[in-house]
Amino acid sequence: KTVIGVLASGRGSNMQAIVDAIEAGRLDAKVGVVISDNPEANVLKRMAGSDIPAVCIDRRQFVSRQDFEAAVAEELNVRHVELVVLAGFMRILSPYFIDRFAGKIMNIHPSLLPAFPGENAQQQALNYGAKVSGCTVHFVDEGMDTGPIILQEAVPVQEDDTVETLSDRILHAEHILYPRAIALYCEKRLIVEGRRVHIIEKSEGLQ
Ligand code: GAR
């Protein structure tokens, strides 16, 4: 089984969707550790009582970003993590960290990239007047939400949407999309060629 490490800063619903997909047999992976940079994060409360290790690495306890990232990397290495999954992780990772896990970091973003990168993507879509938004799972590179796209799902923007109703509709799609993207990685079905991520069909012989 591929060992994944989840980095999350907040609510943790995507983390939960990943754990649920593993339990339901839709994703053949193991969560080796959940790391939050925020001691107050709901994601840590969700982990209470679970046998998955949950660790808080508080950014405020480190002088520099690199010291903080070194501690995160160390924790991931100790847990033998093979794929780093950002699930509502609200910090930008430096090239130092990204190089250490080159090609092995995924993120989910609540828009159809390259539209509306960065913070408040759902509000950006409403402000722009987009009729369709959605979510994107992508590999992380050194830019802001710029890495090679793995999967996307479109979600309609409705006439009476508020940021809350649109975010909920997108989140529902995220919970299906992220475990699927992680499963493709774990099944070694993703081939990255420049910006393009090719998805290898499941061959008949394999199950
Ligand atoms: C999700 O909507 C995710 O796409 C977004 O934060 C939310 C986290 O929810 N991520 C970003 O905006 C990253 N720039 P969760 O904590 O319930 O998974």
pLDDT for residue 207 is more than 60: no
The length of the chain in residues reads 207
Q: Tell me the average pLDDT of the chain.
A: 96
ipTM: 0.99
Q: What is the mean pLDDT of residues 83-104?
A: 96
* CA pair distance 76, 150, nearest whole angstrom: 23
| Ligand 1: centre distance to CA 167 (Å) | 9
Q: Is 11 in the pocket of ligand 1 (CB under 6 A)?
A: yes
Torsion angle defined by CA atoms of residues 114, 72, 29 and 168, in that order, rounded to the nearest 10 degrees: -40
| Ligand 1: centre distance to CA 87 (Å) | 6
Q: Which residues are designated catalytic? A: 109
* CA pair distance 116, 159, nearest whole angstrom: 19
* CA pair distance 103, 195, nearest whole angstrom: 12
| Ligand 1: centre distance to CA 108 (Å) | 7
Q: Is 110 in the pocket of ligand 1 (CB under 6 A)?
A: yes
Q: Which residues pair with 154 in a beta bridge?
A: 134
N-term to C-term CA, the chain = 15
Q: What is the pLDDT of residues 160-193, one digit of tens each?
A: 999 999 999 999 999 999 999 999 999 999 999 9
Q: Is 87 in the pocket of ligand 1 (CB under 6 A)?
A: yes
On whether the CB atoms of residues 41 and 7 are closer than 8 A, the answer is no
Q: Is 32 in the pocket of ligand 1 (CB under 6 A)?
A: no
